[in-house]
Amino acid sequence: MFLKTQLSWDLMIPSESLDCSSGKMLQKAVLVCLMAEVAERKASIESGIFVAVKDIHSIGEGKIRTHPGNFIFPVKFSCITFKMLPGEVLEGTVYKVIKHGVFLTCGPADKVYLSHRTMSEYEYFPGEPPFFKNLKSVKIEKGTVVRFVVLGHKFDEAEKEFRTVVSLDALEDYYLGPVPS
């Protein structure tokens, strides 16, 4: 689910990127540093995956850091984030098929795992390319769009990414499984 999240971060801005003659230069320097910081942080357990900066609401008074010669500015802004919530029904695209399940991408999330244990109607068929197939001959293979329900996720702090486990068996009447093209 895409969310609009309010965040407050302290940004370190190099003194050489500030031009005191214009207030617009401060806003530009803050925006450039904010974009770099969003790209570096990638995600947080509370907010989800950072997608885009929406609005800068306020830039606080800067404080000088004497050692490196930089400034610290408190910045309040809103950001579009993506977070998969347990029980949510979403769609993703299969990018890898293995004996024990498939890996999918869903929006900016690319560590989404659908285990063979949570798609009980499907059987694995090895070969080139490998795939899963049910009794109605419906296939799940690389490139297939699949509707699933989110069971849960874990945040990997070191990699700054979510690992999500999903299912096709958890809900009735949500037409879970491959989406007809």
Query: How many whole angstroms separate alpha carbon 57 and alpha carbon 111?
Result: 32
Architecture of domain 2-82: 2-Layer Sandwich (3.30)
Q: Give the number of other CB atoms < 10 A from CB of residue 181.
A: 6
Single pTM value for the model: 0.85
List, for residues 91-117, the tens digit of each pLDDT value.
999 999 999 999 999 999 999 999 999
For residue 129, whether the previous peptide bond is cis, meaning omega lies within 30 degrees of 0, is yes
CA nearest neighbour of 84 among 178, 149, 159: 149
Query: How many whole angstroms separate alpha carbon 2 and alpha carbon 108?
Result: 10
List, for residues 14-51, the tens digit of each pLDDT value.
877 766 555 567 788 888 999 999 999 999 999 999 99
Does the domain spanning 89-178 belong to CATH 3.30.1460.30? no
Which residue do the tokens 């009980």 mark?
120
Query: How many whole angstroms separate alpha carbon 80 and alpha carbon 29?
Result: 21
Q: Who contacts 22 (Cβ-Cβ below 8 Å, separation ≥6)?
A: none
The structural domains of the chain, with segments of one domain joined by +, span 2-82, 89-178
